[in-house]
Structure 1
Amino acid sequence: MVSKKQEALHLKGVQGLIDIIHNDLSGELEKTTGELIDERRFALEELGSEISDDAQIEYSQVLPSLKMQEELQVSRQDIKDSLSKMKDRPYFGAVTIQDDDEPEEEKLYIGLNSLKDPSTNDLIIYDWRTPIASTYYASHLGRVDYEVPAVGMQSVDVKERIQLVIENGQLLDVFDSELYIGDDALQHLLVDTAKDKMKSIVTTIQEDQNRIIRQNSAQDLLVLGPPGSGKTSIAMQRIAYLLYLHRHKMNADNMLFITPNEMFGDYIAEVLPELGEASINAMTFYRLHDKLSRKYEFEALFQHIERLRTATDTTAFELKSSRKLLDAINDHVAHLSDSGIKFRTIKIKDEPFATSEELTALFYEKFKDSPIDSRLKKIQVELWPRYKEVLNKAIKERTKALKKVTSYIGTDAELEKQAVQEKTKQFRIVKNYIKQLEFVNIEKLYLDILKQLDPAVKQETLNALKNRQINYEDIAPLLLLTVKVKGLKREPGIQHLIIDEVQDYSPVQLAAISAVFSNARKTMLGDRHQLVHPVPAHALGSTALELTKSYRSTVEITEFTKSLIGNTVTESLGVHGEEVKQLSFKEFNDKLAGLDSESVAIIARDVAHVAEVAAKLPDVMLLSHDQYTFTKGKVVMPNYMSKGFEFTHVFILDYNLYDKKQDRFLLYTMASRATRHLYLVEADQ
């Protein structure tokens, strides 16, 4: 039987130890900081302003030692800060185990970070990411297996598992739990998950979620599950786990989260710091268009969705998002070593610098025995001396012209410097053209591939390119060709990618992502049914880890969302709440006016509808497609922007105008944003 009194005494003891370690570390920090300052001051005073060769050698020998001491100082400060946070909640659970080789049971306390007793060097708190802590997340007592990296599977007998609710250093409750979501402990923690931003789920990780979080990082991982199954939260805990597991060869800068919209990075920004890790960078797929030529105007995702919703013919989009196009691109690139590459003539002031015919001859004749990317690099090497020669000639001519000016405009040296600056700036475009291999006509290659597949789509695309327009669905194939042909624009430093809402990505988009981040393994998360795009073109494989339990919303909301798509698989494990309600627009206005909550979503049809609704409602905020900061309060957003977020109250406007069959997946996505209250609002008459 779990004793709350005994656990409270244990907590006091641990907090006392934390205080001792914290105070000792504070004193050590104060002392070593003073010593470091003195060493720096002494080194500077000894060297003075005039640094002789001998002094330089001496100083170069001192610097590494100072740098090491400063890094150690930073590490001590980080530990001190961590201890300050740890005192408020040192741990959140405990598991009592018995090893076959040990006669006595051992009780392990599980927290966000490990803590050692400095007098014995024994661990008194285990980081939740340690292998043995995995036993805490098993859903049963008795025999539990867990994996130790580089060692293999281990087995222990789990005798007891308890969950401790600790806030601000006070033990509020203790639960004897087998970590099923219906337990009182977890229901206590999941009263309402919809806060202003996403939080860590480390204290409520379930066995199936734990298994995914700790999956081997040496292979790509696809996780599918319904709304509220914790997919995004799992991704964040998995990032923290991988950073812990590979802490000597990977840090936050080696990871990237590809998010469904610009706000999502801010929405998830607090999770990793809460777990003691630095936040990783986040970006949308659309931002990869920065790797393409800036002479074009690129269609944003929201423009793309709204265009296709009113389009009478979606043939071009379907082709450009298909496996058929991906296969054609790969096949075309494979044959470029023999024929088919297209070059642009490089010009300087309308004069040919290198013609397309000349570049073709270099590629297919002079350098024909080298791989494609090597041939292009060799062409670069061939062009650089010519570029420098032309630049130097232009500088000399400009210098000569300046010197002929009859009035005084500077000394000869100043005029030469002016000429260099002017011509270097003027020729910078040509320099970058060569450096970025812009003489390779990627757009023409793309058009050639489209012509083979559908001449009408090719012509439509050509017309857009002539108008300097690139549609959203053209970004991926152009980017893929750029990387595969030029060998540029790769991001080798990224070792792991998290791709959320992966069902929204076409085969071509996923291939482009893989090409850019060629060294990265991927954790991909999605739901086959959460679709807001009017013409779905996802590339989900059949091999996936499937989650079937939904924890987030009330049972009533989850059952409603299931009814929209005929889902009989998802198991609702949330709390009970009020039924889904239908409201007139007037009732919606009255309800909204009396609602005191900072987690309210008013979901409109599109950007125009958002503006129309916002003009009628006081004290609401608009969420736009290019907004980078997640805003809490009463927010109005177009339906396709609601993905990934969760809100306590959700109002779906114009619900009666949706086609319940054609729009069932869109309605399912919107309705599942609600955690506690869902309202279906009729159109304003």
Structure 2
Amino acid sequence: WLLHKDNSDVRADKAIVIVQSNALRSFIKDTLPSIDVHGVQIFTYSEWVFQIVNRVLSRDRNSGNKFELFQGVVSASIERIKGSVAVLQTIEHRAKRDVEEILNRLSTVAWESLPSGLGQLFERFRAGALKSPKSAKPVRFLREIQSGIGKLRATLSPSHPKAGELVAVDTLVSELLNSQQNYKSELLTILGDSTAILEADETHLLDRALIDSAYNQTLSNVEHNIIDIHDAALILRLIELKEGALPGSDGRPYLYDHIVIDEVQDLSVVQLAAAVCGVESSANLTIVGDTAQQANPNSTFPGWEKLERYWDEQESISRFISLRISHRSTLQIMKLGDHILGEDRTDSGRDGRAPIWFHCRNES
């Protein structure tokens, strides 16, 4: 609807549909042109996350080669660990500590003796970081100040009185930037901090042995340049916290005009958080799902009530709609389903022929 007959300002090349299966992706891809909608990107969740993470890691000098996607089965316990609210909170606490470290290290620089533009960049970053560490975008800031130092050094001769100071600051900024972009190391540090994860676990269902098991499996995989989809979602969330947005193909921050996520009930809180940050606000996001159709029993999807409460607390413009009428099944089929389940919840629907019920000896 957003892209049909100029109903909105959403651009097709900046809209994306994320689904869980290849079959649904193919169906949507074949269907959209029939309603004159062209250019929308359609991915499975794993495709979308993995291509972004690999693009970032391939240009990161600390990460080396690109990762391969783990093809084995991730155990249910490890999946619950990596998709837990506790790990998500540990990531965000870690990002906050990283910002504090950057502030502490850069506060030792005599900015007043350097060209004023550099000091202004630092003061702007410091003010924003003190107000909201989660929104500080440290990697973006470090790249910006590194670029400024590089331009200044290019205009000065090596014998200039300020040249030595600029070299020292450039070295410090490069060290911090390399550390912040070492996402392999960051992932292992987070999963290896079982104490922090347990402290953040409000469910009290996680234990140290399970967390250590998740860490050891990830360590073994990473040493062979392999990550699973849960690791990729964790890394993407780290990237978003450090850069302030998704990284585009040119390396610059990128936000979609609109994201549609289907079967959201099968996403973990980490996977959902990584996707949600791909847009400016909840008004640019459509998520669809039915918890009664959850295919992944290990999903840590927080539920609709918690999502609604979260967005209300964030003062986001969000609206939740429960669909009461099924357009997939007829009223007669739904009434038969009610009868089988011993319920009486369907009172309206699309009219159709009476279904045929073939009785079996064993209908359990």
TM bin, normalised by shorter chain, reads 0.5 to 0.7
Report the alpha carbon displacement of residue 284 of structure 1 after superposing the two structures with TM: 1.7
What CA distance in whole angstroms lies between the structure 1 residues aligned with 2:107 and 2:359? 68
Partner of 1:315: 77
What amino acid does structure 2 have at the position aligned with 1:547? L
1:265 paired with 2:25, answer yes
Match of residue 291 from structure 1: 52
- Look up the match of 1:187: none
Aligned residue for 1:524?
A: 287
Q: Kindly report which structure 2 residues correspond to 1:112-191, keeping only aligned pairs within 5 A, or say none.
A: none
TM-aligned CA deviation for residue 274 of structure 1 = 3.7
Could you list the per-position Cα deviations for residues 432-460 of structure 1 after superposition, in whole angstroms to 9, with x for gaps in the alignment? x99x9687222222222221324513333
Aligned to 1:375: 142
Which residue matches 2:215?
A: 458
Secondary structure of residue in 2 paired with 1:575? coil
1:536 corresponding residue in structure 2: 299
2 CA distance for matches of 1:566 and 1:381? 70
Structure 1 residues 613-628: aligned runs within 5 Å: none
Q: Counterparts in 2 of 1:650-661, with a 5 A limit?
A: none
Matched residues in 2 for 1:501 and 1:449: separation? 28
Query: 1:102 maps to what in 2?
Result: none
Q: Deviations over 1:407-443 (max 9, x none)?
A: xxxxxxxxxxxxxxxxxxxxxxxxxx99x96872222
Pair 1:473 & 2:230 matched: yes
Counterpart Cα distance in 1 of 2:27 and 2:93: 41
Residue pair 1:503, 1:528 contacting (<8 A) in 2 also: yes
Kept in 1: contact 2:11–2:257 (CA 8 A): no
8 Å CA contact 2:279, 2:285 repeated in 1: no
Distance of 1:483 and 1:497 partners within structure 2: 16
Aligned equivalent of 1:489: 247
Q: Does the C-alpha gap of structure 1 residues 482 and 492 become closer, same or farther in structure 2, counting only changes over 3 Å?
A: closer
Distance 1:568 1:481, change over 3 A: farther
Name the counterpart of 2:190: 449
Aligned match for 2:353, one of 576, 586, 592: 576
Give 3-state SS (helix, strand or coil) of 2:98's partner: coil
Where in structure 1 are there 5+ consecutive unaligned residues?
1-237, 342-359, 387-432, 585-654, 661-685
Mapped partners of 2:342, 2:236: distance in 1: 38
Counterpart secondary structure, 1:239: coil
* Aligned residue runs from structure 1 range 301-312, under 5 A: 307-308=73-74, 311=75
Q: Conserved in 2, the CA contact under 8 Å of 1:338 and 1:364?
A: no
Confirm or deny: 8 A CA contact 2:260 2:287 kept in the other structure: yes
**Any unmatched runs of 5+ in structure 2?**
59-65, 112-121, 126-135, 154-173, 198-207, 309-319
Match of 1:444, SS state, is helix
Residue matched to 2:274: 512
1:95-114 aligned at under 5 Å gives the runs: none
Letter in 2 for 1:335: R
Paired with 1:567 and 1:484, the residues of 2 have a C-alpha distance of 46
Equivalent position SS for 2:260: strand
Residues 296 and 468, structure 1, Cα contact 8 Å, conserved in 2: yes
Whether the aligned pair in 2 keeps the contact of 1:332 and 1:449 (CA below 8 Å) is yes
* Gap change, CA 1:570 and 1:321, over 3 Å in 2: farther
Residues 381 and 291 of structure 1: is their aligned pair in 2 closer, same or farther, counting only changes over 3 Å?
Answer: farther
1:325 match: 87
Q: Structure 2 vs 1, CA of residues 438 and 328 (structure 1 numbering), >3 Å: closer, same or farther?
A: closer
1:277–1:375 CA distance, 2 compared to 1 (3 A): closer
| Superposed displacement of residue 325, structure 1 | 1.9
Please say if residues 3 and 10 of structure 2, whose CA atoms lie closer than 8 Å, have aligned partners that are also in contact: no
TM superposition shift of 1:492:
3.3
Contact 1:556 / 1:580 at 8 angstroms: preserved in 2?
no
The alignment's TM-score, normalised by the length of structure 1, stands at: 0.35
Partner SS state of residue 523, structure 1: strand
Which protein has greater RCO, CA pairs closer than 8 Å, 6+ apart? 2
> Given the superposition, is the C-alpha separation of residues 507 and 568 from structure 1 closer, same or farther in structure 2, using an over 3 Å criterion?
farther
**Paired residue total:** 273
Alignment correspondent of 1:500: 262
Equivalent residue runs for 1:2-17 within 5 Å: none
Q: Per the alignment, in what secondary structure is the counterpart of residue 288 of structure 2?
A: strand
* Cα separation, 2, equivalents of 1:281 and 1:501: 17
